């Protein structure tokens, strides 16, 4: 199967700022299109909002986001994203965790978890929850 799963985050009016922040954290450049560019701005207040944005992550995967139009209920929170890697990714994952925590809430600091991996959880300044896991030595 060639299908891929990709996180899609929903915001009220912060999709552009959030995706620029994530591009700064992870690398790459987010592409964005507004409701007006797609001809979908039935309310003039929605014209400049992001209808679709995506960030191709340098290590693989895609992070996507959009703003919710004024006529729809705002999302309770943008969503949650899990980042996983092995010991060779530890420095990169710890750095991403620290950057995501800047201006956010460190829910669970990075530490060795009961399953033997290093794990932490943070809610960033845009309300997205990030679960970061660095695989430890195989148990056995």
Tell me the per-residue pLDDT of 42-98, one tens digit each, with 9 for 90 and over. 888 899 999 999 999 988 889 999 999 988 888 888 889 999 999 999 999 999 999
Model pLDDT, residue 128: 96
Domains of the chain with bracketed CATH: 8-67 (3.10.180.10), 80-134 (3.10.180.10)
Q: Read off the pLDDT band of 33 (50, 70, 90).
A: very high
Is-contact 55 62, C-beta < 8 A?
A: yes
Which single residue is written with the structure tokens 């460190």? 106
Q: What is the mean pLDDT of the chain?
A: 91
Model pLDDT, residue 74: 83
What's the whole-model pTM score? 0.89
User: What DSSP element (H or E) covers 9?
Assistant: strand 8-11
Q: Read off the pLDDT band of 41 (50, 70, 90).
A: confident
Give the Cβ contact number of residue 97 at 10 Å.
Answer: 23
**Phi, psi for residue 4 in degrees, rounded to 5:** -125, 150
What is the average pLDDT across 21-28? 96
Of residues 140 and 96, the one with the higher pLDDT is 96
Helix (H, G, I), strand (E, B) or coil at 88: helix
User: What DSSP element (H or E) covers 47?
Assistant: none
What is the average pLDDT across 12-25? 96
Judged on CB neighbours under 10 Å (0-12, 13-18, 19+), 79 is middle
What is the average pLDDT across 3-20? 92
């Amino acid at each position: 199967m060639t299908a891929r799963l990709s996180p899609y985050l929903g915001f009220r009016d912060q999709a552009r700022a959030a995706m620029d922040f994530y591009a700064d954290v992870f690398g790459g450049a987010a592409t964005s299109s507004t409701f007006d560019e797609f001809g979908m701005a039935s309310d003039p207040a929605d014209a400049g909002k992001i209808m679709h944005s995506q960030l191709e992550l340098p290590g693989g995967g895609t992070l996507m986001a959009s703003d919710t139009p004024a006529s729809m209920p705002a999302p309770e929170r943008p969503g949650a994203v899990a980042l996983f890697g092995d010991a060779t990714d530890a420095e990169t994952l710890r750095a991403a965790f620290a950057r995501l925590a800047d201006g956010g809430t460190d829910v669970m600091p990075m530490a060795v978890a009961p399953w033997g991996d290093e794990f932490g959880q943070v809610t960033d300044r845009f309300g997205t929850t990030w679960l970061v896991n660095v695989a430890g030595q195989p148990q056995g």
